[in-house]
Amino acid sequence: MKNIVVIGAGTMGNGIAHTFAQTGFKVNLVDVSEEALQKGISTISKNLDRIIAKGNLTEEQKAETLGNISTFTQLSDACGNAELIVEAATENQELKLKIFKQMDELAPANCILATNTSSISITKIAAATKRPEKVIGMHFMNPVPIMKLVEIIKGYSTLKETFDAIFEMSKILGKVPVEVNDYPGFVANRILMPMINEAIETLYNGVAGVEEIDTVMKLGMAHPMGPLQLADFIGLDVCLAILNVMYDGFKNPKYAPNPLLVNMVTAGKLGVKSGEGFYDYSESKKAEKVAKMFMK
């Protein structure tokens, strides 16, 4: 596989495009929004500069990486010779079913269709296509260029051949793939989201403040980042969407999203990407805060 299409240029999509392009793959990056594409390329460029500053990349390699990425606003223009499409659009089931139906119609018959969904059923997404045996979950972690884990999720109809190809591809990208079955939240979010939701509940109940809760988990449990800060980083809308999928999927009240999370998302406070969540990321503070959160 040489020709990769990444759908969505947001938090995850630009990281996925970056990782493939830096490994030498040709990437067509697609987003409905031209602004998101520009922002995505600018983020990739800044992240490559950080790698150069650490002495792990040259200016020539940066230019090659950026040269491997082309941007598109129309899926139909981007996937004519795709061998693998990784979908990383907004976490919304209806939207993903629509995109997969479209991908199935436009992509060559041998192309594998992967999704980076955090929680939506791979089996359900696969059923929107006529090639469910070639549909698979390829769940990268954020920030993609840094985090090693990829959950590889087999849908009910995913062929072993498809699984093996994506497992090997993840290794080529320098990642560590882990095999997971298709149940709501998979493994990562099944365990992480109840913790984040409980941290929000703890705040909502007035047990402690934002920084206090994060400090307890950082210093007491040796977590590199507190759960509220992590929620800001993931995106509060993404956290809410994942909790709702688990709540619906298991019909278990323990996954019900806390009302404070629902209110914050309704008010547009989505975390780092919107400039405010549990912490303030307004332009003046953003660079410093984000740097502290993610850089060694």
Ligand X SMILES: NC(=O)c1ccc[n+]([C@@H]2O[C@H](COP(=O)([O-])OP(=O)(O)OC[C@H]3O[C@@H](n4cnc5c(N)ncnc54)[C@H](O)[C@@H]3O)[C@@H](O)[C@H]2O)c1
> Does 158 participate in binding ligand X (rule CB under 6 A)?
no
Q: Is the dihedral angle over the CA atoms 161, 163, 167, 169 positive or is it negative?
A: positive
Sequence-ordered list of residues with C-beta below 8 angstroms from that of 48, at least 6 positions apart, any chain: 18, 22, 57, 62, 65, 66
Nearest approach in angstroms of CB 194 to ligand X is 16
Q: How many residues bind ligand X (CB under 6 A)?
A: 27
**Near ligand X in 55-74, by CB under 6 A:** none
In the bound state with ligand X, the residue whose beta carbon lies nearer, of 71 and 118, is 118
**189 part of the active site:** yes
Degrees (nearest 5) of the Cα angle 296, 289, 208?
105
Q: Is 8 in the site for ligand X (CB under 6 A)?
A: yes
Q: Which residue is nearest to ligand X (CB)?
A: 10
For ligand X, which residue of 1, 32, 178, 256 counts as binding (CB under 6 A)? Answer: 32
Which region, judged by CB under 6 A, interacts with ligand X, from 19-27, 31-39, 177-185, 252-260? 31-39
Asked if 99 touches ligand X (CB under 6 A), the answer is yes
Given the residues 28, 68, 121, 189, the one annotated as active site: 189
Rounded distance, CA 47 to CA 21, Å? 13
Give the Cα separation of 119 and 53 in Å (integer): 35
Query: In the 8-state DSSP scheme, what is residue 107?
Result: S
Confirm if 117 and 96 have CB atoms less than 8 A apart. yes
Site string for ligand X, 266-295 (x = CB under 6 A): -------x----------------------
Among 142, 218, 223, 269, which residue sits at the site for ligand X (rule: CB under 6 A)?
142
Given 83, 87, 151, 276, the catalytic residue: 151
Residue 47 vs residues 57, 65, 143: alpha-carbon distances, Å: 11, 12, 10
Q: How many CA atoms lie within 13 A of 166 on its CB side?
A: 32
Distance, in Å, from the CA atom of 111 to the CA atom of 262, rounded to the nearest integer, reads 38
Q: Write out the two tokens for 256.
A: 């019900």
Distances (CA, A) of 172 to 88, 158, 211, 263: 20, 21, 39, 41
> Active-site residue 276, yes or no?
no
Exactly one of 21, 27, 30, 126 binds ligand X (CB under 6 A); that residue is 30
Task: Please choose, out of 77-85, 114-122, 148-156, 215-223, the segment that lies near ligand X by the rule CB under 6 A.
Answer: 114-122
Active-site residue flag, 198: no
Active-site choice (3, 14, 68, 118): 118
Interface residues with ligand X (CB under 6 A)? 7-13, 30-33, 36, 88-91, 95, 99, 116-118, 139, 142, 234-235, 238, 273
Residues marked active site are found at 118, 139, 151, 189
